[in-house]
Amino acid sequence: MSTLKGRIAVITGGNSGIGYATAKKFKEEGATVIITGRSKEKVELAAAELGIKGIIADVLNLSAIDEAVGLIAEEFGKIDILFVNAGVFIPMPVGQSTEDGFDNLLDINFKGAVFTIEKFLPILKDGGNIVNLSSINAYTGMPNTAVYGASKAALNAYTRAAATELSPRKIRINALNPGPIATPIFSKTGMSEEQLKGMGDMMQDRIPLKRYGRPEEIAEVAAFLASDKASFITGAEYNVDGGLNVNPIFAV
């Protein structure tokens, strides 16, 4: 069944990982999909592989978001779905946080998400919906994620308030809180292979289902929230984490 047939969907950071898997799923469900990202090479490659449209836009650059909105409006008119997926993970221990790391996390994960929504709202149809990609780290207290988790907790708070404010337009907005997912995001942290393995083993041991999630599993929930099947859901947070939220204790 094509649950998104005839819908126009925009996915930020859609060239890899969860964004890529969701773009593929949305297309399979009948949507016309546009992905954005900051790497021209990666966006063009992903768009070609998926047979969709790709636009270069860095969420750190508000003018670039404006330009992307203009291009999309010119070609497609208004959109039905906005999946705010672009984000970054930078591990920083408390007491060793850097200003650059802090700014990068908050600028991309929170400011970038908020202003992506602000810029797209004029071309989002009444009755449309927004899905924000957050993280279970907003709750778990995992070591080295204090600032990252705070950036995602801020996004969740924004999601709840926005659900109330956008309700007169019948726009639904919800958040997805993935647990550890097997995506390239961890390889971008600057951690060594040994550190990545240690972190991975620690997290996997705490997950009741004893495995990492797959991007496709997040895409399934995103597609559900973007569809009419979720027509009475707004301001909600969906934990897709293998049960990590019910077993969050991490020894330092």
Instruction: Judge if pTM exceeds 0.75.
Output: yes
- Predicted confidence (pLDDT) per residue in 200-240, tens digit: 676 777 888 988 899 999 999 999 999 999 999 999 999 99
- Residue 187: its pLDDT value, please? 52
Question: Could you read off the pLDDT of 81-114 as tens digits, one per residue?
Answer: 999 999 999 999 999 999 999 999 999 999 999 9
Residue 191: what pLDDT?
56
How confident is the model at residue 250, as a pLDDT? 56
Give the Cα separation of 81 and 125 in Å (integer). 9
Rounded Cα gap, residues 25 and 147, in angstroms: 31
Residue 14 has pLDDT above 50, yes or no: yes
Residues near 16 by beta carbon (within 8 Å), at least 6 away in sequence:
37, 42, 46, 183, 184
Residues tagged active-site: 148
Structure tokens at 16: 């890899």
- CA dist 25 and 213 (Å) reads 16
Give domain limits for the chain: 8-246
Q: Give the C-alpha distances (Å, rounded to integers) separating 49 from 5, 15, 173, 193.
A: 20, 10, 29, 29
For residue 251, the model assigns a pLDDT of 44
CA distance 250 to 79: 42
For residues 180 and 214, give the distance between their C-alpha atoms in angstroms, rounded to a whole number: 9
- Mean residue pLDDT across the chain: 92
Beta strands in the chain (DSSP E): 8-12, 32-37, 53-56, 79-84, 124-133, 172-178, 237-240
Token pair listed for 83: 């999946």
Report whether CATH 3.40.50.2300 matches the domain 8-246.
no
